[in-house]
Homo-oligomer: A and B are copies of this chain.
């Protein structure tokens, strides 16, 4: 199987998923409160839109960087990649759910924020599995990882997953803080200069 078409398909899925996030921006429209009021009340949707957009965008950048280092594609990688995409595609669902419950202000916002963080946790685990695949077999990478960096790369992947785990726990204390933590991770990754493993 060629890497190019797997990347093209993944890019398509990332592009559609990131665009579907915008469906949740819609406000009720005429016949309800004033538009200014509707826009103010809708802030959790706008905030969640920006956070999810950048998280998916960063995951796309990481996907790109990771696959660039691969020399080959097999059935197992296709399957792991599909699993990653399964969770990427679920991000708009998590986003609109957490936004709806943050707007609502009820206690279910905790579970909604935990669900939102859990989807990202599953993305992080899928990335870790793809990375693990790449170092477990001969010839899967174009150039083998320098000795000693394998461990730090694994740690780096694990730390990403750890942050989302913490966000799940934080969600049950303060839903908005969990979303804020995920946003902070996104900002961190965006300005971090180390090349992706």
Q: Interface on A for B, CB 8 Å cutoff?
A: 1-2, 5-9, 11-23, 25-27, 29-31, 34-36, 39, 49-50, 53-54, 57, 60-61, 64-65, 68, 75, 78-79, 82, 85-86, 89-90, 92-93, 96-97, 100-101, 103-104, 106, 108, 111-112, 115, 190-191, 193
**Inter-chain contacts of A101 with B (CB < 8 A):** 29-30, 35
CA distance A75 to B29 in the complex (A): 37
Within the complex, which residue of B8, B22, B89, B100 is in contact with A29, where a contact is CB–CB below 8 Å?
Answer: B100
Cβ–Cβ < 8 Å partners of A53 in chain B: 82, 85-86, 89
Q: Nearest Cβ in chain B — how far from A95, in angstroms?
A: 11
Q: How many chain copies?
A: 4
Q: Are B9 and A9 in contact (CB under 8 A)?
A: no
Q: How far is the CA of A68 from the CA of B54 in the complex (A)?
A: 24
Contact between A17 and B22, CB atoms less than 8 A apart: yes
Counting chain B CB atoms within 10 Å of each CB, which of A15, A31, A78, A106 scores highest? A15
Instruction: Pick the contact of A108: B6, B35, B82 (CB < 8 A).
Output: B35
Closest to A56 in B: B82
B92/A35 in contact, CB under 8 A: no
Q: Quick check: A193 and B75 within 8 Å, CB to CB? A: yes
Q: Give min CB distance, A3 to chain B, whole Å.
A: 11
Extra contacts besides A57-B78, A75-B190 (7): CB < 8 Å: A1-B65, A2-B64, A2-B68, A5-B64, A11-B12, A13-B15, A39-B111
